Amino acid sequence: MNDLAGKHIVLGLTGGIACYKAAELCRALIKEGASVQVVMTAAAEQFITPVTLQALSGRTVYSSQWDAREPSNMPHIKLSREADAILIAPCSADFMAKLLHGRADELLSLMCLARPIAQVALLLAPAMNREMWAHPATQRNVAQLMADGTTVFDVGSGDQACGETGDGRMLEPSELLEDVIAFFQPKSLLGQHVLVTAGPTYEAIDPVRGITNLSSGKMGFAIARAAREAGAEVTLVAGPVSLATPRGVARVDVISAQDMLQAVQDKAATATVFIATAAVADWRPAHAADHKIKKDGSGATPSLNFVENPDILATLAQSARGQSRALYCVGFAAESHDLLANAKAKRARKGVPLLVGNIGPATFGQDDNALLLIDESGAKELARASKLVLARKLIVEIAIRIKAGVRA
């Protein structure tokens, strides 16, 4: 899967030590399927050579408006017209100020000013000292650039080349790549607040043992990422998994089913879509031992009594907001057999407009999956694919139903 296949990106570099990250970013964009044309300012050439970027991009690097290689002597026109986006990484405080005022005194700023705004997006990855980033002038510039339609990515926080620590670092190449990919995804859930549960729950038997399941959380995390790519505000309530939080997603970590229910109820009031992907334990020990239960050599086995866990999906679906469909609830069913019959029965039992079924043993821990969508009109299969591909397709299906007002 190449998320940027067919995209042509002008990668602009301005002066800053973060230019070293641009080499890895260039390589990452190309690996994701994009073609990359590098344009550098004179200041950028003080930090990294054009030869490096030429080798990585496979294209001649441009830095001068007067480059004799262009027959028309108008590289600011030709190069900008070919692009799907101009990504400036790193983008210095000085260059942002230049863009804000429409100054165009070298090739990169000329390209930004001359680009067809409706066709060629302008994406900025700021990089500067923490005091420069926090300065009111910089913050005013960022706000106005965004108001003008420019996309300004976040900055990172941490150690800076000057020896100080704080906000202002350019994001890491992997983070910028994810942001660029997200930029190009359709914004089908713009204005929605999506609440997602993911992963297993863990029910303690004693301080060192517990009951859990094989859910990796990968499907739920992919759905959270896809929802954020689609323009939604996303909150992810995650059971005990070791997956990285998707970019731009707010995460709440929980352990048990009761913890998950509390976290979900805390967030549900502002959510408009609830996607219950987590594999929640159906039962828990009635009482967890205070100390480790040990063998005594007698061969006797401990006796465990179980109580049923709360039904998180049904609780939200049957709440006032769920019943009115102000909160659009989507359930997941991880089955071992008879997927269609079990998924239909679960949808009816939970009272949700959409139920997504899969075969648990065939997907737990895997990077791919196959889904069966069940709603009032019948069943629809989503063929086996990567979990991110399926997550994006599911988000489209949810957005279609919300837009059409299919709530029951």
The residues, any chain, with a CB within 8 Å of residue 167's CB and separated by 6 or more, are 130, 133, 134, 155, 156, 157
Whole-angstrom Cα distance, residue 12 to residue 4? 18
Relative orientation angle of helices 218-229 and 173-184, to the nearest 10 degrees: 60
What does each C-alpha distance from 394 to 45, 143, 226, 322, 391 come to in angstroms?
Answer: 45, 34, 9, 20, 5
Whole-angstrom Cα distance, residue 95 to residue 36? 21
The residues pairing with 203 across neighbouring beta strands, listed in sequence order, are 211
- Closest Cα partner for 270 from 295, 235, 294, 297? 235
The residues pairing with 23 across neighbouring beta strands, listed in sequence order, are none
Q: Is 162 an annotated catalytic residue? A: yes
Q: Quickly list DSSP for 345-381.
A: HHHHHHT-SEEEEEEHHHHTT-SEEEEEEEETTEEEE
Taking a C-beta distance cutoff of 8 angstroms, is the pair 107, 40 a contact? Answer: no
Dihedral of alpha carbons 270, 395, 352, 365, sign: negative
* The one catalytic residue among 19, 91, 162, 329: 162
Taking a C-beta distance cutoff of 8 angstroms, is the pair 84, 115 a contact? Answer: no
At 274, the amino acid letter reads: F
- Tokens at 345, concatenated: 């029965």
The residues, any chain, with a CB within 8 Å of residue 404's CB and separated by 6 or more, are none
- Closest Cα partner for 64 from 44, 86, 35? 44
Instruction: Provide the 10 A C-beta neighbour count for residue 147.
Output: 8
What does each C-alpha distance from 240 to 50, 350, 360 come to in angstroms?
Answer: 46, 25, 18
Active site residues: 162
